[in-house]
Amino acid sequence: MPDLHYWLSGAALVFPASFLITVIIGIIPIMEGRSKKLIYFLLFAAFLITGVGWYSSAKQDEKAEQDSGKLDATQDSLKVMRNQLTDLIVKMNTGSAFLEPPELAILSPDAPAWLKAAYKEIGQREIPGPQENPRIVAYFKTIGAKENYRDDIDDWASAFVEWSLNQADIKGPKSDEPFAWLDWGQVLSQPALGAVVIMSFSGLHHVGFYFGEDENFVRVLGGNEDDAVHIFRYPKNAVYGYRWPPDLKVPDSH
């Protein structure tokens, strides 16, 4: 049996209200000159129909609230899982980023100019608190989306990619949203060294430069990776697309 407040909800109260209206404008006017049995039958039928409808409506309100609670619980669980996956990626990279064979972090001499500029920024890091890293402030200035950015609060991955490309006189979408890069440049079916790689994992968007891969992961040189410019590994299934600067010849292979 539904609790009292479900019976008194707006939708449920339509049924007793309808019953009263039926009695007032439908049954009372025909009472005069009619048999009491007919009147009682009509009243009983109206009451029964109203009761069934009232109960059904209250039950539906109760179920809707329970389903809403289950949905909220599911969303909370998904949020926890996303946070755990994000933490796992960070921990995986923190433990291995500087333990990989040195040749994996060596930049090829024929690497694109923007990638060389990005590579030189490895180690630039956020400064917690009110102080800002002036280098990251310079990244933010290249997108100009708003006046005041905080390096330890705002996502600066897209700004870093924009800044790096700007060093090679290439303009990006000038946005702090990583997915804005999906509408920029030439679409690559296969990655190339220095290509812009757009990702989504744990409900978060990210962007950086393709720096190689192994069986299950892509290596990405990017900003705002564990609060710094790093080469991180990300699952291949997190990749949404690769982009190459417009009007530049696409490399034959990576």
The answer to whether the CB of 198 falls within 8 A of the CB of 240 is yes
pTM: 0.64
b/e burial code for range 7-22 (CB count within 10 A of at least 16 → b): bebeebeebbeebeeb
Q: In terms of Cα–Cα distance, which of 195, 240, 249 is closest to 222? A: 195
What single-letter amino acid sits at 51? G
In this predicted structure, what is the pLDDT of residue 149? 82
pLDDT, one tens digit per residue, over 79-104 is: 555 555 556 665 556 544 443 445 45
In this predicted structure, what is the pLDDT of residue 14? 53
3-state secondary structure the chain: CCCHHHHCCCCCCHHHHHHHHHHHHHHHHHCCCCCHHHHHHHHHHHHHHHHHHHHHHHHHHHHHHHHHHHHHHHHHHHHHHHHHHHHHHHHHHHHHCCCCCHHHHCCCCCCCHHHHHHHCCCCCECCCCCCCCHHHHHHHHCCCCCCCCCCCCCCCHHHHHHHHHHCCCCCCCCCCCHHHHHHCCEEECCCCCCCEEEEEECCEEEEEEEEEECCCEEEEEEEEECCEEEEEEEEHHHEEEEEECCCCCCCCCC
pLDDT, one tens digit per residue, over 161-218 is: 999 999 999 999 999 999 999 999 999 999 999 999 999 987 789 999 999 998 889 9
More confident residue, 110 or 33: 110
pLDDT, one tens digit per residue, over 214-251 is: 888 999 999 998 889 999 999 999 999 999 999 999 88
In this predicted structure, what is the pLDDT of residue 30? 57
More confident residue, 19 or 5: 19
Q: In terms of Cα–Cα distance, which of 237, 61, 82 is closest to 74? A: 82
pLDDT, one tens digit per residue, over 7-29 is: 445 454 555 556 555 655 555 55
